[in-house]
Amino acid sequence: MGKKTTERRLGAHEAVAKAINLRVSPRKLNLVAQSIRGLKVQRALNELEFSAKRISRDVRKALYSAISNAENNHNLDIDSLVVAEAYVGKNITMKRFSPRARGRANRIEKPFSEITIVVREINEAA
């Protein structure tokens, strides 16, 4: 009588990891996500390790999580993994006010974003 399980949205050779509440705008995070899309995971980790962007540290953690999910949950081979998808979404926006001259105030928006990383196992024939 329990709840029916939903079907898996990913393929049999894919694993996913998601990092939410990252304190950076989605536009800046997307620059880092673009740099790793389509790369083998070892190359993508090297790109993130030596990137000058501050947020690349959090993206690297998410990529490690996706690799671990692929290895432990789906028994995929780490050496043949590729970053199939890396997409960014908006999250909450904190609104703050900054005092200005003559009793006025300006609104400062501090956006948060999230990133989803999908790794896929590719075989040597492909």
* Number of domains the chain contains: 1
Decide if pLDDT at 51 tops 70: yes
Task: Tell me the pTM.
Answer: 0.90
CATH number for the domain spanning 45: value is 3.90.470.10
Asked if the structure places residue 62 within a domain, the reply is: yes
Provide the mean pLDDT of the chain: 94
User: Could you list the residue range(s) of the whole structural domain that residue 109 is in?
Assistant: 14-121
Residue 112: inside a domain, yes or no? Answer: yes
108 lies in a domain?
A: yes
Decide: residue 13, CB within 10 A, 0-12 exposed, 13-18 middle, 19+ buried: middle
Predicted confidence at residue 126, as pLDDT, reads: 53
Q: Which pLDDT score is estimated for 11?
A: 87
Neighbouring-strand partners of residue 90:
113
Residue at 113 is within a domain: yes
